[in-house]
């Protein structure tokens, strides 16, 4: 039997007539057949001794495209990008030992952001397990805290069941990563496989539904409310509930704010949209939830009813959690019962599929419209929106900065602000591009200045915050959505971490673009240094210590060494034509945009603080 990460082995026995017997084949060939049966069209896989049998079998597949990343982490992030862009499980594969451990960050990223992912690893032969064999690592044990489920296959006959279960678990309920570890001898042995057509797992119920009693109680709370807010997250997107959310919000006339993972779940240009909230979210969204404070005192109250759907009350959203929506009644709807009351107690906890709950609520409100339209509440929100939109300006500090002296050659007014790059990109792409990001200031600016209109448009490492995510994720998204413009908004620190994937882009002909907002620093850490450490630089400068006028490293030269088109942009007058050339290119492209390092991401609620401590203007 296969070892699983449950205390009690879960068995799935195919019922009579619900299985198909295949021809005799090797274990590695059964793996490929299982992938084909699950509709997998792409796998991101780096070969090695313990996985080469499966690579040999993949060469004979007529249905699966095998993409060779240049690092296993790049492959895991690319599979994650594929999964985020489609909602179907992305698939990656690596050999044992260091190959498997290089997948770990990508697996953890998928776990934190509830992304469906299948990570297949080769393992040393069974007789060598536990003996310290060459390239042996217990990847099953190593990944236990960061997977939804995992398997160590010890019987070749279990492969069809394991793969059927793995895809079912990864893609249903709250999605997540599943690891399948397969010893080399299991890949080599031959058998006649039995492929189950259906899987039933005892104790696993991914289709949880709210009771009518709970839904009616929600309607009652809305009718009693004066200042309701819908606070929604990535669960709306993974649950395919965006249409139901919009129908309900419009019917009830309730403003909507999202988490970073929820960007695109509700159109951000909609009159009811509050964009996203949290540490660097819209000031007006934070005020709408927790109230506006002036000189430490509450000046205008926030929500008296918070309808939280598909969220986990993450600390980057809540700040000091006890004071998050401190005076509001909280309704929490989530498909994962472990999230209920974990971070923030709920007055009305509901375990349910969010699409079902929102669909029912929308129908209930349509049948019996909410008498109130919350006119006073909408006026207050309109005042907040007018008072504190996302905005920036070229300050005297920027014009007098070392950046201008080093790079602008006396043409200081031509300095390129990072926010302006995102705004122009939004204009040129008509707001329809899929964006991926690295992690840092550029990630926040991408979310602030590119209003998202639809789900799966903003793909970012939100929970884990993994630098190096952006470009490989863009490769996965572009493979999944070749019809769409896919652009990685990155920083010079993040981009360098997986720059080798430019080789993958060129060799595989994947036209993913990258815009690098290059300030020669680890910008977000530098911002904290400026705010909390008197500007003392703790190893956050990435450039050339002996010559700060030199942009280091030379991303243009590096990209061209991979045969990828690239150019550097220094001045405002160069930006539009450079972006147009990048967007018109039908091949990978890198745009290295030099920006000032003096700029901070605002608004900013310091970690562990409250809305009362928010810095929202320069």
Identify whether the C-beta of residue 568 lies closer than 8 Å to the C-beta of residue 370: no
Q: Are 93 and 120 in contact (CB under 8 A)?
A: yes
Structural domains of the chain, count: 3
Whether 252 is in a domain gets the answer yes
| In 481-612, beta strands by DSSP E | 486-491, 513-518, 565-569, 589-594
Q: What is the mean pLDDT of residues 300-324?
A: 97
29, 53, 72, 165: which is the annotated catalytic residue? 72
Rounded distance between C-alpha atoms, residue 275 and residue 253, angstroms: 16
pLDDT (average), residues 586-604: 96
CATH number at residue 477: 3.40.50.970
The whole-number pLDDT of residue 405 equals: 80
Residue 549, pLDDT score: 84
Classify residue 27: in a domain, yes or no: yes
Establish if 614 belongs to a structural domain.
no
Average pLDDT over residues 496-521: 98
Strands across the sheet containing 90-94 = 3-4, 149-152, 177-183, 117-123, 90-94, 42-45, 65-67
* Residue 228 and residue 170 share a domain: no
613: in domain: no
Residue 412's pLDDT is 79
Same-domain status, 39 and 160: yes
Residue 56, domain extent: 3-196
Q: Which of the two residues, 397 and 119, has the higher pLDDT score?
A: 119
Predicted confidence (pLDDT) at residue 200 exceeds the cutoff of 60: yes
Among 218, 408, 524, 526, which one carries the catalytic annotation?
Answer: 524
SS3 309: strand
Together in a domain, 525 and 419:
yes
Same domain, 378 and 442: no
Question: Does residue 334 carry a pLDDT above 90?
Answer: yes
**For this structure, is 441 an active site residue?**
no
Which of 56, 135, 323, 572 is catalytic? The answer is 135
133 shares a domain with 73: yes
| Core vs surface per residue 462-485: b (16+ CB within 10 A) or e | bbbbbbbbbbbbbbbbbbbbeebb
Q: Are residues 381 and 420 in the same domain?
A: no
Tokens at 53, concatenated:
């049998």
First CA to last CA distance, the chain = 62
User: For residue 546, what pLDDT band results from cuts at 50, 70 and 90?
Assistant: confident
Poorest-confidence range of 105-114, 199-208, 484-493? Answer: 199-208
Q: What is the pLDDT of residue 410?
A: 65
What average pLDDT does the chain have?
95
Are residues 158 and 21 both part of a single domain?
yes
CB 312 within 8 A of CB 333: no
Per-residue model confidence as pLDDT tens digits over 272-298: 999 999 999 999 999 999 999 998 899
What is the domain-level CATH number for residue 348? 3.40.50.1220
Measure the CA dihedral 139/141/145/148, to 10°. Answer: 70
Nearest to 191 by CA among 303, 310, 48, 23: 23
Domain final residue pick, 387, 414, 444? 387
Asked if 184 is an active-site residue, the reply is yes
* Cα dihedral across residues 524, 525, 528, 534: positive or negative: negative
- Across residues 428-442, what is the average pLDDT? 98
Q: Indicate whether 594 pLDDT > 50.
A: yes
Once rounded to an integer, what is the mean pLDDT over residues 446-472?
A: 98
Catalytic residue among 148, 164, 184, 344: 184
Does residue 607 sit within a domain?
no
The answer to whether 450 touches 476, Cβ cutoff 8 Å, is: no
Given 1, 20, 134, 223, the catalytic residue: 134
Contact call for residues 572 and 415 (beta carbons, < 8 A): yes
User: How many residues are there in the chain?
Assistant: 618
Q: Considering only residues 588 and 12, tell me which one the structure prediction assigns the higher pLDDT.
A: 588
Is 134 catalytic? The answer is yes
- Across the range 130-137, mean pLDDT stands at 94
Q: Phi and psi (nearest 5°) for 342?
A: -70, -50
Q: State how far the alpha carbon of 410 is from the alpha carbons of 70, 86, 568, 576, in Å.
A: 42, 48, 19, 21
The stretch 353-378 carries a mean pLDDT of 94
pLDDT digits (tens, 9 = 90+) for 141-179: 999 999 999 999 999 999 999 999 999 999 999 999 999
Say whether 309 is catalytic. Answer: no
Those residues with Cβ within 8 angstroms of residue 62's Cβ, 6 or more apart along the chain or in another chain: none
Residue 108: pLDDT above 80?
yes
Q: Quick one: 220 and 240 in the same domain?
A: yes
CA dihedral 461, 463, 467, 468 (to 10 degrees): -40
Tell me what pLDDT residue 618 has: 80
The pLDDT tens digits for 10-32 are 334 444 458 999 999 999 999 99
8 has pLDDT over 90: no
Within-domain flag for 490: yes
Asked if residue 438 and residue 293 are part of one domain, the reply reads no
Q: Are residues 224 and 168 in the same domain?
A: no
Nearest to 45 by CA among 108, 84, 90: 90
**Would 616 be classed as within a structural domain?**
no
Specify the range with the lowest mean pLDDT, choosing from 2-6, 363-367, 398-402: 2-6
Question: Looking at residues 222-239, what average pLDDT do you find?
Answer: 97
Q: Are residues 64 and 111 in the same domain?
A: yes
Decide which of 196, 227, 249 is a domain's last residue.
Answer: 196
How would residue 131 be classed by pLDDT, with cut points 50, 70 and 90? very high
Which of the listed residues 387, 408, 433 is the one where a domain comes to its end?
A: 387
Whether 252 contacts 222, CB under 8 Å: yes
Distance CA 358, CA 353 (A): 9
pLDDT computed for residue 2 by the predictor: 54
Judgement on whether residues 348 and 469 belong to the same structural domain of the protein: no
Is 497 considered catalytic here? no
Phi then psi dihedrals of residue 398, to 5 deg: -65, -45
* 545 pLDDT above the threshold of 90: no
**Dist CA 328 CA 225 (whole Å):** 10
Helix (H) or strand (E) holding 298: strand 297-300
Average pLDDT over residues 598-616: 95
Helix ranges restricted to H, 156-208: 159-171, 184-188
Report yes or no on 183 lying in a domain: yes
């Amino acid at each position: 039997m296969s070892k699983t990460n449950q205390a009690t082995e879960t068995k799935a026995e195919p019922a009579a007539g619900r299985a198909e017997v295949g021809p005799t084949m090797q274990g590695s060939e059964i793996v490929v057949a299982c992938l084909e049966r699950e509709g997998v069209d792409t796998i991101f896989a780096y070969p090695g001794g313990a996985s080469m049998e499966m690579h040999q079998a993949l060469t004979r597949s007529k249905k699966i495209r095998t993409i060779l990343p240049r690092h296993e982490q790049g492959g895991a992030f690319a599979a994650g990008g594929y999964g985020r862009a489609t909602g179907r499980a992305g698939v990656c594969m690596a050999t044992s030992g260091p190959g498997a451990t290089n997948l770990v960050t990508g697996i953890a990223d998928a776990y934190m952001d509830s992304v469906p992912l299948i990570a297949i690893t080769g393992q040393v032969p069974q007789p060598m397990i536990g003996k310290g064999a060459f390239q042996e690592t217990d990847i099953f044990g190593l990944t236990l805290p960061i997977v939804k489920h995992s398997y160590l296959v010890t019987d070749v006959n279990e492969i069809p069941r394991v793969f059927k279960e793995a895809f079912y678990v990864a893609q249903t309920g709250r999605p997540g990563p599943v690891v399948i570890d397969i010893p080399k001898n299991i890949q080599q042995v031959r058998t006649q496989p039995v492929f189950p057509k259906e899987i039933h797992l005892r104790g696993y119920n991914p289709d949880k539904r709210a009771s009518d009693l709970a839904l009616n109680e929600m309607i009652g709370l809305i009718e009693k409310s004066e200042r309701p807010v819908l606070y929604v997250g990535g669960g709306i997107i993974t649950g395919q509930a965006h249409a139901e959310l919009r129908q309900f919000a419009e019917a009830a006339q309730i403003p909507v704010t999202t988490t970073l993972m929820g960007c695109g779940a509700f159109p951000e240009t909609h009159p009811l949209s509050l964009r996203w909230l949290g540490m660097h979210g819209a000031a007006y969204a934070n005020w709408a939830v927790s109230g506006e404070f002036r000189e430490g005192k509450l000046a205008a109250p926030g929500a008296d009813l918070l309808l939280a759907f598909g969220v986990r009350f993450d600390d980057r959203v809540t700040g000091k959690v006890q004071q998050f929506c401190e005076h509001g009644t909280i309704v929490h709807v989530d498909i994962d019962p472990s999230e209920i009351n974990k971070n923030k107690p709920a007055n009305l906890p509901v375990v349910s599929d969010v699409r079902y709950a929102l669909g029912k609520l929308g129908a209930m409100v349509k049948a019996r419209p909410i008498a109130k339209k919350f006119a006073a509440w909408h006026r207050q929100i309109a005042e907040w929106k007018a008072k504190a939109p996302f905005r920036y300006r070229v300050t005297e500090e920027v014009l007098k900065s070392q950046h201008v002296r080093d790079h602008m050659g006396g043409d200081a007014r031509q300095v390129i602000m990072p926010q302006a790059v995102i705004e122009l990109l939004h204009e040129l792409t008509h707001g329809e591009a899929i964006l991926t990001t690295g992690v840092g200031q550029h990630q926040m600016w991408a979310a602030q200045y590119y209003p998202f209109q639809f789900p799966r448009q903003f793909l970012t490492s939100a929970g884990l915050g993994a630098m190096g995510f952006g470009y490989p994720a863009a490769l996965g998204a572009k493979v999944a959505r070749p019809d769409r413009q896919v652009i990685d908004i990155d920083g010079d620190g993040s981009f360098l971490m997986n720059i080798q994937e430019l080789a993958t882009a060129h060799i595989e002909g994947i036209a993913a673009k990258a815009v690098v907002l290059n300030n020669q620093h680890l910008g977000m850490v530098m911002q904290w240094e400026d705010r909390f450490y008197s500007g003392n630089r703790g190893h956050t400068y990435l450039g050339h210590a002996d010559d700060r006028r030199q942009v280091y490293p030379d991303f243009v030269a590096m990209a061209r060494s991979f045969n990828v088109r690239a150019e550097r942009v220094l001045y405002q007058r160069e930006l539009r034509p450079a972006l147009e050339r990048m967007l018109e290119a039908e091949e990978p492209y890198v745009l290295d945009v030099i920006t000032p390092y003096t700029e901070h991401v605002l608004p900013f609620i310091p970690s562990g603080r409250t809305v009362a401590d928010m810095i929202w203007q320069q």
